[in-house]
Structure 1
Amino acid sequence: MTFEVRIINLEDGRVEQGMFDTVPTLEQAVKVVGLMREFLSTMPAQFRGPLPFLKRGSVELEWASATGAVAFATLYESGQAATLAVMACDPKGEAGQGVLGGLQQSLGLGPEEFAPTDGPLMVVAALPGAPEWQPMLHLLNTSLAAVYFAAVLKDQA
Structure 2
Amino acid sequence: MSAPREHVVGQILALGTDEVPFTFTPSADGVTGAWDYADARWVGFVSAGTIDRGYRLEVSLHEDSTYTLVDHTSATQARVGAGGASVSTSRFRGTVRSKSFSTSFAPLATDHGQAGHSFGWRFDADEMKTPVQQVLEQAGWTPRRRGFWDRLTGRG
TM-score range, shorter chain: 0.3 to 0.5
* Normalised TM-score (structure 1): 0.35
Give the helix-richer structure, 1 or 2: 1
Say which one has the larger Rg.
Answer: 2
> Greater RCO between the two (CA within 8 Å, min separation 6)?
1
* Normalised TM-score (structure 2): 0.35
